[in-house]
């Protein structure tokens, strides 16, 4: 097998350390990227809490919760894939990567269904936007603008993740990963879990926090 050590490194351990650190720093840039969105959300939710409460409560909480569970399960299958890679179990690795792909796909499918529902209910920002029970339509529209921007960017990250996992499956089928060399699986796992964490915050912020208010 060809050496997996690139010429700028001295040891495999140094190479793996560098890749892992690089991925963590990349994730920090992602935290700040989504952070801008979270800031905008916080500012407007504070300013227009009534309209945001009605708009938030119009989302389908059952579907949201189920989709959250689906994503959490995909994180579990991903960590199992990483574990299989560390143990050098090729068949198990491929199995769990495929499972992750499936759960990720289900999440995206459900998300697409939800978005489609918004189109049918005229909850998409634009000229035909309308939400019952809100005096200031533009404020409710702001909620949905942020909803689409945040879930849209999250879904974009999921799509990229699906692409990465497909690529890993292809590499794994070629037997490129061993108990000694599995860094790509490891850092792809970090990315996948990070996207999961973003959703862990999006779910309560978008679906839940104003549920208790009287309709």
Partner 1 sequence: MITAAVPEREDYLNVSHGLKSWLLTKDHKRIGLLYLATITLFFFLGGVFATVIRIELLTPGGGLVSSETYNKLFTMHGVTMIFFFLLPSIPAVFGNFFLPMMIGARDLAFPRINLLSWYLLVVGGLFALFAMLAGGVDTGWTFYTPYSTTYSNTWVIATALGIFVAGFSSILTGLNFIVTIHRMRAPGMTWFRMPLFVWAHYATALIQVLGTPVLAVTIVLVFCERVFHIGIFDPALGGDPVLFQHLFWFYSHPAVYIMILPAMGVVSELVSTFSRKAIFGYRIVAFSSVAIAVLGFLVWGHHMFVSGQSLFAGMAFSFLSYFVAIPSAIKVFNWTATLYKGSISYATPMLYAFGFIGLFTMGGLTGLFVAALGIDVHVTDTYFVVAHFHYIMVGGAIMGYMGGLHYWWPKMTGRMYPEGWAKLSALVIFLGFNLTFFPQFILGYLGMPRRYHTYPAEFQILHVLSTAGASVLAVGYAIPMIYFAWSLRYGKVAGANPWGATGLEWKTASPPPLHNFDKIPVVTHDAYDYSTVVGEAVEVG
Partner 2 sequence: MTEHIDSIRTYALVLLALLVLTAVTTLVAFVDLGEFSVVVALAIAVCKMLLVALFFMHVRHSTKLTKLVLLGGLLWLVILLMLTLSDFTTRGWIGVPGR
Tell me which residue of 118, 123, 145 sits closest to 134, measured CA to CA.
123
Which of partner 2, partner 1, none is residue 7 near (CB under 5 to 8 Å by kind)? partner 1
Report which secondary-structure segment, H or E, holds 153.
helix 137-173
Spatial separation of the C-alpha atoms in residues 18 and 3, rounded to whole Å: 17
Distance of alpha carbon 208 from alpha carbon 138, whole angstroms? 21
Q: Is 87 in the site for partner 1 (CB under 8 A)?
A: no
Buried b (16+ CB within 10 A) or exposed e, 50-69: ebbbbbbbbbeeeebeebbe
* Three-state DSSP class for residue 136: coil
Binding residue for partner 2 (CB under 8 A) from 90, 118, 176, 193? 193
Q: Which residue has the tokens 């850092």?
A: 187
Scan residues 129-188 and list those touching partner 1 (CB under 8 A).
Answer: 136, 138-139, 141-142, 145-146, 149, 153
Q: Which is nearer to partner 2, 44 or 129 (CB)?
A: 44
d(CA 50, CA 57): 11
Taking each helix axis from N to C end, the angle separating 12-47 and 49-57, rounded to the nearest 10 degrees, works out to: 110
Nearer to partner 2, 69 or 159 (CB): 69
Site for partner 2 in 27-46 (CB under 8 A): 27-28, 31-32, 35-36, 38-39, 42-43, 46
For residue 175, count CB atoms less than 10 angstroms from its CB and return exposed for 0-12, middle for 13-18, buried for 19 or more: exposed
Closest approach of partner 2 to the CB of residue 11, in Å: 10
Which of 54, 75, 104, 158: binder of partner 2 (CB under 8 A)? 75
From the list partner 2, partner 1, none, pick the one residue 78 interacts with, judged by a Cβ distance below 5 to 8 Å according to partner type.
partner 2
Residue 108 sits in the site that holds partner 1 (CB under 8 A): no
Q: Does 4 bind partner 1 (CB under 8 A)?
A: no
Binding region for partner 1 (CB under 8 A): 6-9, 14, 17-18, 21-22, 25-26, 28-37, 39-40, 43-44, 47-48, 125-126, 136, 138-139, 141-142, 145-146, 149, 153
């Amino acid at each position: 097998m060809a050496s997996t050590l690139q010429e700028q490194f001295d040891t495999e351990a140094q190479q793996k350390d560098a890749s892992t650190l690089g991925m963590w720093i990349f994730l920090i840039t992602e935290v700040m990227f989504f952070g801008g969105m979270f800031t905008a959300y916080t500012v407007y939710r504070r300013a227009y809490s009534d309209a945001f409460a009605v708009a938030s409560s119009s989302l389908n909480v059952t579907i949201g919760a189920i989709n959250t569970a689906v994503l959490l399960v995909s994180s579990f299958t991903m960590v199992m894939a990483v574990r299989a890679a560390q143990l050098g179990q090729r068949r198990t690795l491929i199995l769990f990567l495929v499972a992750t792909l499936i759960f990720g796909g289900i999440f995206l499918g459900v998300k697409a269904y939800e978005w489609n529902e918004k189109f049918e209910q005229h909850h998409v920002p634009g000229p035909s936007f309308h939400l019952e029970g809100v005096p200031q339509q533009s404020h409710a529209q702001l909620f949905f603008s942020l909803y689409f921007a945040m879930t849209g960017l999250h879904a974009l990250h999921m799509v990229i993740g699906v692409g990465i996992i497909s690529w890993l499956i292809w590499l794994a089928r070629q037997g490129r990963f061993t108990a000694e060399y599995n860094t790509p699986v490891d850092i792809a796992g970090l990315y996948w879990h990070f996207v999961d964490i973003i959703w862990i915050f999006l779910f309560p912020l978008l679906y839940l926090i104003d549920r208790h208010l009287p309709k």
